[in-house]
Structure 1
């Protein structure tokens, strides 16, 4: 591995390591108790493994993630990819990054009484995001060489403190982690948004390697995978560490979200210095993620709508700014149903990309698998949104793996098999 592979790997780590990566592992640790290591293993599959596969899958295409979804149908490719970019961009991902940064770096010092504080913080935050995003060509070096090492050092300090200073035994696992902690952790990994964010970040990685003289597809795939391995090692270490902090903090009280857990842990271990250290970690992590998402979504939409890149990212930044001021809990409540719908489709598209040689990239196989997946993922999304569908639920409950949140697996296989048979018959 050469220097460029490490720099781009560090950049990708910083892009992935944002709001969701900070708030969900501690929550998992707090709720899973003695089942923590089993639960975090499942979380790592969807929180690390799938994103790295997705980034590598992007190295198979020439332009953007839409090419992966175009195998189903060009219209599906346009609509689904646009939904993905909107979800990880101005609707959920970017506003969540700003609000998590605020709640964990500013609010611990001033409390929640300063009504204008969030407004002031997000104004400065998004002004800096827009400034950096206007020149994306320099982003790789800025993040990979400077911000990521600082971020990693801060995380290491907090994690070492957690392993040494938090001595309380692990508690009993919560209700949803009693029977199937691995698969519960697997589904919780959806909430990081990283597998769908990888569709956006993958293009940044591929373009970074192209700018460094790597042009053949085979070398792009190899280089992307190598940088992904570096990213994966860092993410697994961080998730395991901050999740362990959450598991150890469960006996200290009840918390609304993972941000509160980490803030309390930092203060418990290091006092005000710990809170300040955590604030540095969070602000850097959320800032780099927000920049990456603005750049990626700006580059994507500048290809499909007749507006220049600077105009698009300005609009996206303003939209993110307005939504961020609604608060973290509101953003999370609206994002879960959408992610529950998007994630299974994303997983299936990634797997089909890596296995397409087995069925000669048949569009019928793609369509069958996606239709089978969507039937269940639309239902799951509506349930998460709060709708009650008793008649459909009685049917869905008969699906294998439904009780562990993976009811879409068998319909996806059945749909792919029907598509394969149809393509063979047509040929």
Structure 2
């Protein structure tokens, strides 16, 4: 039960036990296939520079998502935050994020990745297509059943699956420390140079910043179910759960990166073909044999089931709130959840390779927009609220640059090319580091400041008419 009160507001607050429970629930929703695959892959490539690479990875894979949770919590929800740009923008970006972290990419990836790690090694003589169909059918059926009551996810993810996942990873780490032969390989592949910057970019692949903008919906429902009814306190408890999740992720990513470095010193990989799954398989096979392969497969199944359940809950809640009626038919949470489950089931059987290839360009478009939106929110009190048009202009110019880069990348994925577009994008500063959107974002901030001053007729920030106009923009 919640039996404490916030000393400042007097509102009911979570006690220590429930606060930890909310944190583990949040962690379980975040930590899935990508979170298990990418840190070891970073370590295996970075070798003796794993520390630098891990710092960059943690900044984008942990720092940005937790800032997103805090920003959304204190803005009163993603809708209010995105509305600072425009109402239409909030709807379009919301749909793009939900579909990306949901049925189009992230949800299908959970089933396909866990299948390839846990089932394929033990069914070499069976038809892969048929086996994958049967596995994904069971996988999504279980996830859908677990997602039926999103406000009670803490009873499954928080109390059982999250702690179990941490125990399994801890066991792997202990054996790495005990049986590590000593020494690490030299950096290779994309990590031969600029390890920290490369780690930062690879942190995008977890999709956690995008997920963070909406996972607060489910966590808020869990906080309310624990007896917290004051909305300001609900936002505070959600933000605290996000911070706690961030601390857990930092530790886990550090552990997994170290395990990847150990694996790289045991068996080299080919970065152009292998993945973090290969890194973990090499490690566990070398240390435990077939038992190790089964063990890491179990880890993948639990992690992917956790995230799949959380994503179905998030997507179902979002669409129930925004599209309660479609074509004259009432669509409640369970019906939307069923739609996303079936659609994800179909996409997952199309193959992991194409899912990953297409998702990378899309993430390169959405992430910069999310980053600047969160960054402006974090400085809202001291800067952005004084010049409200910076939201519109910064997001607009960042979005244009990111969208053009996405188009170029998607064309390349399908075997084509747009030389004129590639040449134009290469002219942007930091384009070689895939950060070409930084300069347009800075220009957008400057234009936004000028536009705000002109729109407000040069009145000082504390002028009452300025505040009225500022509310109009917000």
TM category (shorter chain) comes to over 0.9
| Residue matched to 1:156 | 170
Match of 1:194 in 2: 208
Runs (4+) of structure 1 moved beyond 4 Å? 215-218
Question: Which of 346, 366, 379 does residue 370 from structure 2 map onto?
Answer: 346
Cα gap change, 1:223 to 1:138, in 2 (>3 Å)? closer
Across the two proteins, how many residue pairs are aligned to each other? 426
Q: Which residue does 2:259 correspond to in 1?
A: 245
Measured after TM superposition, the shift of residue 168 of structure 1 is 5.2
Q: 1:116-155 counterparts in 2 under 5 A?
A: 116-155=130-169
Q: Tell me the TM-score normalized by structure 1.
A: 0.94
Alpha-carbon spacing, 1:155–1:375, altered in 2? closer, same or farther (3 Å): same
Residue segments in structure 1 that go unaligned for 5+ positions in a row: none
Change (3 A) 1:407 1:217: farther
Contact 2:41 2:275 in 1 (8 A): yes
Residue of structure 2 in register with 1:279 after alignment: 297
Pick from 103, 120, 124 the counterpart of residue 116 of structure 2. 103
Could you tell me whether the CA contact under 8 Å between 1:180 and 1:404 is conserved in 2?
Answer: no
Deviation at 1:70, TM superposition (A): 1.8
CA-atom RMSD in angstroms: 1.9
2:31 to 6, 10, 17: 17
Q: Deviations over 1:310-337 (max 9, x none)?
A: 1111010000000111122121111111
Distance in structure 1 (CA, Å) of the matches to 2:124 and 2:198: 33
* 8 Å CA contact retained: 2:218, 2:314: yes
- Which whole-Å CA distance do the structure 2 matches of 1:169 and 1:296 have between them? 43
Using the alignment, how far apart are the partners of 2:212 and 2:155 within structure 1?
A: 19
**d(CA) in 1 for partners of 2:407, 2:174:** 42
Q: Specify the SS of the correspondent of 1:145.
A: helix
* Conserved? CA contact 1:102–1:121, under 8 Å: yes
Q: Distance in 2 between matches of 1:220 and 1:135?
A: 19
Instruction: After TM superposition, give the deviation of residue 218 of structure 1 in Å.
Output: 4.8
Aligned equivalent of 2:390: 365
8 Å contact kept, 1:356–1:362 = no
Alignment of structure 1 residues 38-117 onto 2, 5 Å: 38-62=52-76, 64-111=77-124, 113-115=126-128, 116-117=130-131
Q: Please, what TM-score do these two structures have when normalized by structure 2?
A: 0.85
1:32 to 2:61 alignment: no
SS of residue paired to 1:424: helix
**Higher Cα radius of gyration:** 2
**What whole-Å deviation, never above 9, does each CA across 1:216-251 have from its counterpart, x for those lacking one?**
455344423322232122211221222222222225
Shift, 1:308, TM fit = 1.3
**Structure 2 unpaired stretches of 5+:** 1-14, 326-330, 457-474
Partner residue of 1:390?
419
Higher helix residue share = 1
2: CA distance, partners of 1:112 / 1:248: 32
2:95 and 2:352 map into 1 onto residues whose CA distance is 23
Counterpart CA distance in 2 for 1:49 and 1:269 is 33
CA displacement at 1:184 relative to structure 2: 0.8
Superposed CA deviations along residues 128-173 of structure 1, whole A, max 9, x for unmatched, are 1111112222212221111111111111001111222232532222
> 1:228-377 alignment to 2 at 5 Å?
228-251=242-265, 252-254=267-269, 256-305=274-323, 306=325, 307-357=331-381, 358-360=383-385, 363-377=388-402
1:85-104 CA distances to partner (integer Å, 9 max, x unpaired)?
Answer: 00100000000011111111
CA distance in 1, matches of 2:250, 2:307: 17
Distance 1:175 1:263, change over 3 A: closer
Question: 1:40-90 CA distances to partner (integer Å, 9 max, x unpaired)?
Answer: 11000111111111112221244x423322221111111111010001000
8 Å Cα contact 1:166-1:245 kept in structure 2: no
Provide the C-alpha distance between the structure 2 equivalents of 1:151 and 1:269, rounded to a whole number of angstroms. Answer: 19
The aligned counterpart of 2:463 is none
- 8 Å Cα contact 1:56/1:202 also seen in 2: no
> Partner of 2:379: helix, strand, or coil?
helix
